[in-house]
Structure 1
């Protein structure tokens, strides 16, 4: 169980860092990319790159969470970690959909909405990082499952 907890925590911490970087740097910079073809190229490049960055740890997080649920189905902190991971997915889906229509030059409210969705994702993953850290600490404590 310790290995699954550590792997899940590491993936969640990584995703949390990416979410806060996107919130503070990446999405605000979108507004400064010139309109037209430059914007489309920038956005397509961002979309491919960010998928490569977050896709693998997201899969790892999901698999590790599933393993934890199998290994410790009665552990409340495992369920907390699982619910927060699922909430991260739930917040990401509308953000991914919004990306397909995003153009800060013709619809600046789309970028504001994307920032709000990403803030929710960053907060959820931050809470997930805390819960995952507590789970790792609990697993390594005497008398833990």
Structure 2
């Protein structure tokens, strides 16, 4: 499911949450949603950008990958020791929003991100996924390890 480069990024990151305005897109009003191309899109496109610079950015880009049903990106950003063989998406699931509640370092090359993601299933029922995810920095990039649901 493609997303226009100037569409608001599904992760909901706001311009005020990132230092400076994105280059080449003009002025971005503080508090305005970042465009997909200037936010998670640069991590999901292997020809455009490098790896996510921190655990929160990786978690946000993984949320966006779930919205876009980008299985290859999700698998590539999963720590190899915990990576499943494949990812299946639930047909009809609609992701409704992401709230990052906390992002903290837990040691050298380790971090946690607490978030709540909202979704609606094919039957119209709303669900909340409240998780504290663990990440590790290895080989010059961040990887999702696992998480605890609340």
Q: Normalising by the residue count of structure 1, what TM-score does the alignment of the two structures yield?
A: 0.27
Larger RCO, structures 1/2 (Cα 8 Å, 6+ apart): 1
Give the number of the structure whose alpha-carbon radius of gyration is greater: 1
Of Structure 1 and Structure 2, the greater strand share is in 2
Of Structure 1 and Structure 2, the greater helix share is in 1
